Amino acid sequence: MSDAPAVESAASAPEEEDASGGAGAEASPLLAVAGLPRWHEPLVAATLAGFGHRTECVKFARLSDYRSAISLLGREGSPPVMYLIGSFLRFLDERSDVPGPVCFVCPNVAPNGPTAGIVEAVEHAFSRAGRRDARAAFFPGAIPRSERHLLDPATAGAVFRAVQVADVLHETVCRVRPYEREPGATERVIEACVTEIGEVLGDASRRWKGASVRPSLTHRGLSTLTRFASARDLAMFAHAPGEDDVVAALDRCAARLQDEVEVDYVQPRPRVRLTGDFWTRSTGGEANFSILPWLEAEGAEVQLLPVVDWVIDALRVCGVRGTWIAKRYAAKRRTGYRARFGPGPMPPAQAGCAATVHVVFEMHLDRVQRISDDAKTVRLSIVACEMSNQDCRERIQAALRPALAIAEGEITAVLERRGFSIDEIRTFVGDRRDLRRPLRTPDPSDAGRSAKREPEIGTGACFVDRVAAELAREVGMRKNIQWHP
């Protein structure tokens, strides 16, 4: 799924790729996408399918996968690696009818470097399971020679875009789902949208594959600052055919959310910034102890770091030059994609919130669980302190309680300043369908309003402030009608 190292390898050895590509075409490997968040895997798989590959998605790793991997290898190891190995073996058992070899495509979750023995552990597991035809491609850092076609600039650019689209969808789900009136409505809409967007990305990949791109002067200049082998490779990576179709698909997704999902933003919810190792903060299900739904059930609104930022940082750690260019390129595209879903109930200027808890969810054995000097930061170790441990949950709940009180105080302060009660606000929202929609268009007065009131207030308080302002205008209009018939 990475881009910069891929382009370097693919462009520097085209003869080698062609030579191995023939054998790969005869073997017709199945690419099984694994280890990514829920909305990323199908979009990455659809993108790769557009380049002519057979693709499938591996279901979330389970605790039983972790145990089966340890049982097979006879030793413990890095939890993410063990979870992945177990999910690989489960997939091979369930899909034993798949013809030809299977290549698992997933992020490099090894904690100690680009490879850190992860390739050897996976190969050993496949050998013990009697599946020597299986292999794994870890991005970045560990790509089998037979899968160097995945490092093609066009493939890397297409996957890079798919990850950015999935990031925006995942962010939108985390923003809307805690406030939905009907549980599961947001995920149901996004699930349908992912299928449609995947078809659009697959069609774009087919056009990307056969494109003939001429590098511009900008490509020639930037290629010297990166590890792209040539300006043409950089131009091919950034070509992005079908961008208008992708944006149109995102617009349709936003419209479906508006039509099919109702929310209740009149509630205090502290924000939780979930950071840490890629595996523990990005995967789902039992592999990270269902941390996202548990936090939302505890009254939090979870904020995640984009996967594409992890990709760029991983490339930088691997010594790839020019990652700052990729970061600016990604930020510009992400801004355009985010704009399709609006700024949400809170103006962009209010991105930071006083009622914020920072949970660092880590997997390393040597990082002992502790609370830092900042009482709002909770550090947890996935090994030393599993989320099934009640003490861990109580520590997070203890950090959430004061944050929840702050969020409640923000709403109370807004109501006192505006001169309305919470019941009046709820009644007004109940009479207005547009105020129960999950997304909204930018308000030109957002910047002015955010400059006048206390900085950094939460989603609920900001929404109540907006509704109270509209209610005040409506009350004023009613008075004018009474005095001036």
296 with 182, same domain: the answer is: no
124 with 228, same domain: the answer is: yes
208 located within any domain? yes
* Residue 362 pLDDT: 62
Gyration radius from the chain CA atoms? 24
350 with 238, same domain: the answer is: no
Q: From residue 150, how far is each of 19, 144, 200, 365, 483 by CA, in Å?
A: 15, 10, 20, 33, 72
177 with 288, same domain: the answer is: no
316 located within any domain? no
333 located within any domain? no
15 located within any domain? yes
Does this model's pTM top 0.85? no
175 with 210, same domain: the answer is: yes
223 with 278, same domain: the answer is: no
240 with 389, same domain: the answer is: no
131 with 223, same domain: the answer is: yes
120 located within any domain? yes
314 located within any domain? no
229 with 91, same domain: the answer is: yes
**Dist CA 18 CA 11 (whole Å):** 11
CB atoms within 10 A of CB 197: 25
Residue 144, preceding bond cis, omega within 30 degrees? no
347 with 229, same domain: the answer is: no
**Structural domain tally of the chain?**
2
294 with 436, same domain: the answer is: yes
H or E stretch at 360: strand 356-362
Residue 289: give the domain boundaries. Answer: 268-305+342-466
18 with 107, same domain: the answer is: yes
Residue-level pLDDT, tens digit, the chain, 485 residues = 333 333 333 333 333 333 334 433 445 788 999 888 889 999 999 999 999 888 999 988 788 888 888 888 887 777 778 888 889 999 998 888 877 788 888 887 664 454 556 778 888 888 888 888 888 888 776 676 667 667 778 888 899 999 999 999 999 999 999 999 999 999 999 999 999 999 999 999 888 877 777 777 777 777 776 767 677 777 888 888 889 999 999 999 999 999 999 999 999 998 888 777 777 777 777 777 778 888 899 998 888 888 888 888 777 766 666 677 778 888 888 889 998 988 654 443 344 455 667 776 665 434 333 434 344 556 555 544 455 566 777 878 888 888 888 889 989 999 999 999 999 999 999 989 989 999 875 454 444 444 344 445 788 888 999 899 999 888 775 544 444 44
